[in-house]
Amino acid sequence: DVAKRAGVSKSTVSRVLNHPDSVKEKTRTAIERVIRELNYSPSYFAQGIRTGKTKTIAMLVPEYSNMFYSEMFRGVEDVALAHGYMVLVCNTERHSNSEEEYIEELLRRNVDGIIYNTYQINEKTIRYLQEISDKIPVVFMDRIFHKNEGISYVLTDGYNSTRKAVHYLFERGKRNIGYIRNTEDIAVIEERYQGYLQGLRDCGL
C-alpha cells in the first residue's frame, strides 16, 4: 500500500525502513509522508519469517530484585533501543534447571542473542550455552568461564577493586577494616572477599 501510493517499488520502501541513507532524500521524504498518512508500522514478526531475526535480545538474571541487575538492564535496554532491539528479562531465581528451561524457550522464540548472568556456575548450562553460541551470540557476564577464544564476556574485577578499596582506607589511616561477606556460594562475592584478604596482606594488616 505504501509503495503503491508513493509510486515506488516495494524494495524502495524496504530500503527507506531499513537503510534510509541509501535512498535519495526526495524519494525518502515522499515515502515517509505516505507511511505517516497510512499509519504504517512494520511487523517484526513478518520480517522475522523472511530474515530469521526478531530484533529481540534475552537477558537472563538470577534475581531481578538485585539492584546490580536492574541497573545493568537499564544500560542494556538503552543501547538495544538505540539499535531497534527489545530486551526480554528472564528471572531464573538461582535455579540452574530454570536457566536451561528459559534458554530452550528463548530459542523456540527465535531471540537474536542472549546475555547470561548467574550466581552459581553450572557446567552443564555453560556447555549448553557454548554449543548454541555457534547459532546465536551469547555474552557471559561477570565471570570468565574457561577463557576459550570465541567466548564473549564482560567482566567486573571484584578481586582487584576490593583490594584497591582496602588500600584506599589504609592510605587514609584506617587499620581496623571490616568486610561484610554475605554468602559463600556466589563466585563473585568470594572473589571480592579474596581481594579484601589480599589487600590486608598488602598493607601488613
C-alpha cell at 192: 571480592
pLDDT digits (tens, 9 = 90+) for 150-165: 678 888 888 999 999 9
Residues 6+ apart with CB under 8 A from 88: 56, 57, 58, 59, 106, 111
Residue 101: how many CB atoms within 10 A of its CB? 13
Measured distance CA(25)–CA(65) in Å, rounded: 47
Order of strands, sheet of 152-154, starting from the edge strand that comes earlier in the sequence: 86-91, 56-61, 113-116, 138-141, 152-154
- 3-state SS, residue 88: strand
Of 201 and 41, the one with more pLDDT? 201
**Which contacts qualify for 148-154: CB closer than 8 Å, 24 or more apart?**
none
The reported pTM is 0.68
Confidence at residue 41, expressed as pLDDT on a 0 to 100 scale: 76
Is pLDDT at 93 greater than 80 in this prediction?
no
> Could you tell me what percent of the chain has a pLDDT over 90?
32
Is pLDDT at 187 greater than 80 in this prediction?
no
pLDDT band per the 50, 70, 90 thresholds, residue 38: confident
